[in-house]
Structure 1
Amino acid sequence: MKSIVIRVDATVTTGAGHLIRCLAIAEQLEKFRFSVTLWGAIDLDISHHYRVIDYRIDDTLPISTELLIVDSYSEDSAQLNYYFSRVPTVVLDDENNRGIFKATAVVNPIDRNDYERINFQKCLLGFDYAILRQQFKHACRNEYSRRNRILLVMGGSDFGGLTLPICQHLSQFPTISCRLDVVIGPGCQDKEFILSFCERNGIKVYENVGNIETLMACAKSAITAGGGTVFELAYMGVPSYMIEIASNQRPAMTVLKQTGYFESGSKEDIDLLNNIVCWIEAVDKMESNIDGLCNIVDGNGAKRVAQCIYDYLMKKEG
């Protein structure tokens, strides 16, 4: 059985988004009978399914492997080049801001034209390589005209601390707050305050949701951090207000906004909360045809990445 190592972090600081997309790829790789090991600073307990090796700053590759997947911004271009000199390396990237590096393949859900493509054997770019959790492949989209919920999901750790102030502001608008579904993850620092506030104001809260696609299926609109969830919302046909929490989210947000189904803002925006309200009210008046939104992402990104890795290793072997 061939071994693949995935270098990824999932902490309160980094959030869980990188880990989530790596687990989606790992699930597809297992279908090709690869053995997958996760290597990184991972605060979430996933040891029941994958071997996890802790990452230390002085670590070189901890075990022998056929291929390394890197989805961590702790690794700069020098470190990526070091890995590539030792083993075939696939880099999951968002912003292309680490300088020039070489890799077997680079994966980015945005079709960027600023990569030095000569440095990669494969460039897996564009919405076809947006990586969704595999549960979404079996999700049902409710007819848009029948949806009336508003989903607020700021990621597993809500690194920007925005869930509570958004809830507080939206509670001033009864026609909005009565339709609000708030999702908080295991790393949410304001959890108790959010739960208490929402209980007092009749707002529904969901903790550590395993089937978030069912909430998305009922959502007419969503408010979300600008991470990987934006692609899942696109797949489910949910117009969304994206909030930039980290700079690496900006490229995807910029491209999605151009589709006309998304709006964007930053946690630094003075009028952020008022802008969210205005956007929700605008979406409530939107035409019910969202076919264009549903066609942006097809949900097969992880499968395509795993297939590319399999084809590469089989060709290398034979």
Structure 2
Amino acid sequence: MKIVFRVDSSFTIGTGHVMRCLTLAGQLRQRKADSFFVCREMEGNVISLIREQHFPVFTLPEVEDRRVLQWYERNWERDARETLSLLERHLDSADFLVVDHYGLDEKWESRMKPFAKKLMVIDDLANRRHDCDILLDQNYVFRYRERYKDLVPPGCRQLLGPGYALLREEFFRAPRRVRNGEIRNILVFFGGSDPTNETEKALEALVRLEDPPAVHVVVGAANPKKKRIEEICGSYPHLFFHCQVSNLAELMNEADLAIGAGGTATWERLFLGLPALIVVVAENQRELAEAVSAFGAAVNLGWSREVTPEKIFHEISRLREDPEKVRAMAERAGELADRDMVKTYPVLRAMMGEGR
């Protein structure tokens, strides 16, 4: 079985799209499927990370990162043409073409469909039409079961909600802790690139705490501020710096509270019952942050431009004085993550044609 992933990463796009595709590719590898990636060269990409996991990558010519989504609006035909040309040089055909890209829609998908037997879209915006056989949106937002009703063909199989979350094996192996609400260990993780530099903002708040907890700071290799963040961590004995880790589940499991964005790591935190302060750094994170906060599994601090170190400091201070609230958040987080369903690999099974 041959699977082709069309996905990009950059300082602007972030790394979350690639990371969830890598998770799915890893699951497919366990079923003896061969996965290939098609990625456009852009500043801040993590193509090397894909290759490190021994997946072939076919690269498209570079475009300017800052205006990348506008570029795709005007040049989707060029991208389809370049992608198809690239694939035809290397592969005869594919069983599945998986598209995880906010810049592509039904026009691009229709053009590419003849290359693959089936086409699958991974999305979480529900803001454009798709021409696909399977659509995956793992997010929990208000009325999530109805989001794509008029955006996909009648025969499209929709995989919607937390039960379809794509998680790496390390999260399945990690036993979920029962937290008592005390905050002795805080995890700071804002994804692979952290384009708005929320990590440094959080650290500015955390170093002001009296009787400070241990703080584990995780950054990705694509983070342009990683050297600066490492220097800050080196100045305080209770700050611990980690870069491009392979044990994120372990670090999350050891933490009592997380501070992070509202992207793909949200489901990793929920799966392990880890309460969080969420900073919204992109429009696609807003609805999820609001819904998870309303459920009682996290605190939504709002848009990054409105979140100051002072706001983070006061919220952490308030939670440290209210362990019962933190304990309740941990319980709610565990309730929201559909652990039993996720562990059955439902996305993989849908691609393999198993069950409905």
Equivalences for 1:78-89 in 2 at 5 Å? 78-84=107-113, 86-87=115-116, 88-89=118-119
| Aligned-residue offset at 1:53 | 0.9
Equivalences for 1:102-141 in 2 at 5 Å? 102-110=131-139, 111-115=144-148, 116=150, 119=153, 120-141=155-176
| Aligned-residue offset at 1:82 | 2.2
CA distances 1:243-262 after superposition (whole Å, capped 9, x unpaired): 11111122221221121121
For 1:53, the equivalent position in structure 2 comes to 58
* Residues 1:217 and 2:216 are matched in the alignment: no
Structure 1 stretches lacking a partner, 5+ long: none
CA contact (8 A) 1:77 1:101 kept: yes
For 1:187, the equivalent position in structure 2 comes to 222
Q: CA RMSD in A?
A: 2.3
Q: Tell me, in whole angstroms, the C-alpha distance in 2 between the residues paired with 1:118 and 1:8.
A: 20
CA contact (8 A) 1:148 1:218 kept: no
| Aligned-residue offset at 1:118 | 5.6
Q: Tell me, in whole angstroms, the C-alpha distance in 2 between the residues paired with 1:165 and 1:118.
A: 40
Structure 2 stretches lacking a partner, 5+ long: 62-78
CA contact (8 A) 1:71 1:91 kept: yes
Q: Tell me, in whole angstroms, the C-alpha distance in 1 between the residues paired with 2:94 and 2:344.
A: 20
CA contact (8 A) 1:129 1:302 kept: no
For 2:14, the equivalent position in structure 1 comes to 15
Of stretches 138-147 and 240-249 in structure 1, the one that deviates more from structure 2 is 138-147
CA contact (8 A) 1:7 1:71 kept: yes
| Aligned-residue offset at 1:301 | 7.0
Q: Tell me, in whole angstroms, the C-alpha distance in 2 between the residues paired with 1:237 and 1:112.
A: 24
Equivalences for 1:209-248 in 2 at 5 Å? 209-248=245-284
Structure with more relative contact order (C-alpha pairs < 8 Å, separation 6 or more): 1
For 1:77, the equivalent position in structure 2 comes to 106
For 2:347, the equivalent position in structure 1 comes to 305
| Aligned-residue offset at 1:84 | 3.4
Change (3 A) 1:44 1:118: closer
| Residue aligned with 1:258, SS | helix
| Aligned-residue offset at 1:117 | 6.0
Equivalent of 2:179 in 144, 149, 155: 144
Equivalent of 1:95 in 115, 121, 125: 125
Q: Tell me, in whole angstroms, the C-alpha distance in 1 between the residues paired with 2:60 and 2:337.
A: 33
| Aligned-residue offset at 1:283 | 3.0
Change (3 A) 1:223 1:23: same
Read off the aligned partner of 1:44 and give its amino acid letter: I
Change (3 A) 1:169 1:147: closer
Equivalent of 2:334 in 290, 294, 309: 294
CA distances 1:262-287 after superposition (whole Å, capped 9, x unpaired): 12221110x53233223223333132
| Aligned-residue offset at 1:170 | 2.1
Equivalent of 2:46 in 39, 43, 50: 43
Aligned pair count reads 310
Q: Tell me, in whole angstroms, the C-alpha distance in 2 between the residues paired with 1:154 and 1:19.
A: 15
CA contact (8 A) 1:221 1:283 kept: no
CA contact (8 A) 1:266 1:272 kept: no
For 2:75, the equivalent position in structure 1 comes to none
CA contact (8 A) 2:298 2:333 kept: no
Read off the aligned partner of 2:200 and give its amino acid letter: L
CA contact (8 A) 1:131 1:302 kept: no
| Residue aligned with 2:192, SS | coil
CA distances 1:93-128 after superposition (whole Å, capped 9, x unpaired): 01112x222210110013242312661520100111
| Aligned-residue offset at 1:23 | 1.2
Read off the aligned partner of 1:278 and give its amino acid letter: H
| Aligned-residue offset at 1:74 | 2.8
| Residue aligned with 1:274, SS | helix
Counting helix residues as a fraction of each chain, which structure ranks higher?
2
CA distances 1:215-267 after superposition (whole Å, capped 9, x unpaired): 11121111101110011001111111111111112222122112112122211
